[in-house]
Amino acid sequence: MHAAAAARVPSAPPPTPPLAYDVLVVGGGPGGSATATALARQGRRVALVEKDRHPRFHIGESLLPMSMPLFEELGVREAVERIGVIKRGADFPSATPGEYTVFRFTRTLHPTCAYAVQVRRQDLDELLFATAREAGVATVQDTEIESVRFDADGVEASGHARDGSPVAFRARYLVDATGRDTLLGRQLGLKRRNRRFQSAALFAHFEGVRRREGEHEGNISIYRVDDGWVWVIPLPDGITSIGLVCGPDTLRQRAGERESFLLRLLAGIPGLAERLDAPRIVGHLQATGNYSYQCTRVVGRRWIMVGDSAAFIDPIFSAGVHVALNAAQKAARLVNTVLDDPALERRLQRDYVREQRRGLERVRWFIERFNAPVMKQLFAHPRNDWRLEEAIVSMLAGDLYRDDGIVWRLRLFKLIYYAHCLADLKGALAGVRQRWKRVREVFAADALSPGAR
């Protein structure tokens, strides 16, 4: 709740508003703004309510090539390219210390777009929010929705503006795009912690970090560390975003000395240390914890969740914004159809849920094993027999929803992974023990913080 709202004098609830909108979208991040824009362009009366005011900082700066056609559809592709750094690949440490292996986006199974963009999210989110406004959406900022109530005709949402005044909206349909705040997930008790993933992060914007050379200068670089992994994302104006994703214990022990801890950790990572040139933190040093979860239901009568409001897993493959944009496109089509023909709601929602789940499942298996010794080997020496490397690059590029030869190749990759595990049982068991250690750690963290759900 806004601090101002918390301090407000008790005020009378607002009168029940008329059914002024077809759709109320709560949350003005990429998922919410894209859903609202698409619905308004289909002639729907849409309100988009955001608790903050753009531009505002947000994490999630590395985008995926498969999002570029979605930006095109929204009419913002060129504008997104202008505010970002072009990313042509993702690099991971190779087996030789100091060297790295690049997964180039030109090497996908079905070339769609050979590059993505890395952005300051305050710029991207402001652009998408403004696009919604231009499309005719009634955009409201500095206003937090606190609860929703469904009735026979629609939904009523109430909350407070930053100045403490009560607000209420009525619409025929609700889109929950509130990100990790999970408005409906919390209100309906649907949110479940995911204990299998890393669940804390410490990140900041830096100066003094050298980029890769030539066509690789915009690459995202990923480094493994004992307790997790580190991202290095080149942003405009010489800024680099660096973040550590790790178990909750690591950050808890480091509270109070985060800046020096992060700088020390980076200086000890082979391959990254050589890229540091008197690194300085120039902004947004932040920690976040307990963030992996999924909701047990993501749709219902007159409502749908989009993006992080439905689920969030470890961000190692930078898929979050892409998942939110894809969900936005599909949710907007669904809601538009259902407003005309409510009888179709259940069937369309079933398809939506299936597709969203399939997308997350495609990356989930890889994320869970990313630090396992066999996975390190396979990522360090990618081979393209049966075009397996291209299938992996397709997944890294965000090709999460099509089949087109990707699925069987990823299954084959998994078989190869298990065969390597059998050949190196000791290493494989070490990987399993490492994953279980993390699960136990997260259980212990839960026990310490009962409200963690």
Ligand X SMILES: Cc1cc2nc3c(=O)[nH]c(=O)nc-3n(C[C@H](O)[C@H](O)[C@H](O)COP(=O)(O)OP(=O)(O)OC[C@H]3O[C@@H](n4cnc5c(N)ncnc54)[C@H](O)[C@@H]3O)c2cc1C
Q: Are 107 and 96 in contact (CB under 8 A)?
A: no
Instruction: Please identify which residue in 32, 218, 373, 382 interacts with ligand X, judged by CB under 6 A.
Output: 32
Name the segment binding ligand X (CB under 6 A); options: 46-54, 78-86, 208-216, 364-372: 46-54
Nearer to ligand X, 60 or 93 (CB): 60
Long-range contacts of 7-14 (CB under 8 A, 24+ apart): 7/164, 8/160, 8/164, 9/164, 11/164, 11/165, 11/166, 12/166, 13/158, 13/166, 13/168, 14/158, 14/166, 14/167, 14/168
Instruction: Please identify which residue in 41, 51, 104, 170 interacts with ligand X, judged by CB under 6 A.
Output: 51
How many other CB atoms sit within 10 Å of the CB of residue 377? 14
Cα–Cα separations (whole angstroms), residue 216 to 153, 176, 290, 358, 381? 54, 37, 33, 31, 18
- Considering CB under 6 A, how many residues would be counted as binding ligand X? 38
Whole-angstrom distance, CA of residue 444 vs CA of residue 450:
10
**Tokens standing for 427?**
């290493």
89 near ligand X, judged by CB under 6 A: no
Q: List residues bridging with 147 in a β-sheet.
A: 158
Name the segment binding ligand X (CB under 6 A); options: 40-48, 101-109, 311-319, 358-366: 311-319
292 near ligand X, judged by CB under 6 A: no
Instruction: Please identify which residue in 48, 85, 124, 177 interacts with ligand X, judged by CB under 6 A.
Output: 177
49 near ligand X, judged by CB under 6 A: yes
59 near ligand X, judged by CB under 6 A: yes
Q: Exposure pattern of 150-183 as b/e (b: 16+ CB <10 Å)? A: eeeebbbbbbbbbeeeebebbbbbbbbbbbbbbb
Nearer to ligand X, 67 or 108 (CB): 67
Nearer to ligand X, 52 or 390 (CB): 52
Q: Nearest 5°: CA angle at 287, between 282 and 292?
A: 135
Name the segment binding ligand X (CB under 6 A); options: 25-33, 222-230, 382-390, 425-433: 25-33
**Which residues, numbered 237-256, are part of the site for ligand X (CB under 6 A)?**
243
Residue indicated by tokens 């995911």: 194
399 near ligand X, judged by CB under 6 A: no
Name the segment binding ligand X (CB under 6 A); options: 37-45, 188-196, 257-265, 315-323: 315-323
Instruction: Please identify which residue in 288, 294, 337, 434 interacts with ligand X, judged by CB under 6 A.
Output: 288
132 near ligand X, judged by CB under 6 A: no
Name the segment binding ligand X (CB under 6 A); options: 29-37, 250-258, 367-375, 384-392: 29-37
Q: Are 127 and 99 in contact (CB under 8 A)?
A: no
29 near ligand X, judged by CB under 6 A: yes
Nearer to ligand X, 308 or 399 (CB): 308
Whole-angstrom distance, CA of residue 161 vs CA of residue 138:
15
Give the phi and the psi of residue 308 in degrees, each rounded to 5: -60, -20
Q: How far is it between the farthest Cα atoms of the chain?
A: 69
Instruction: Please identify which residue in 23, 24, 25, 26 interacts with ligand X, judged by CB under 6 A.
Output: 26
* Interacting residue ranges for ligand X, rule: CB under 6 A: 26-32, 49-52, 58-63, 144-145, 177-181, 183, 201, 243, 288, 291, 307-308, 315, 318-322, 324
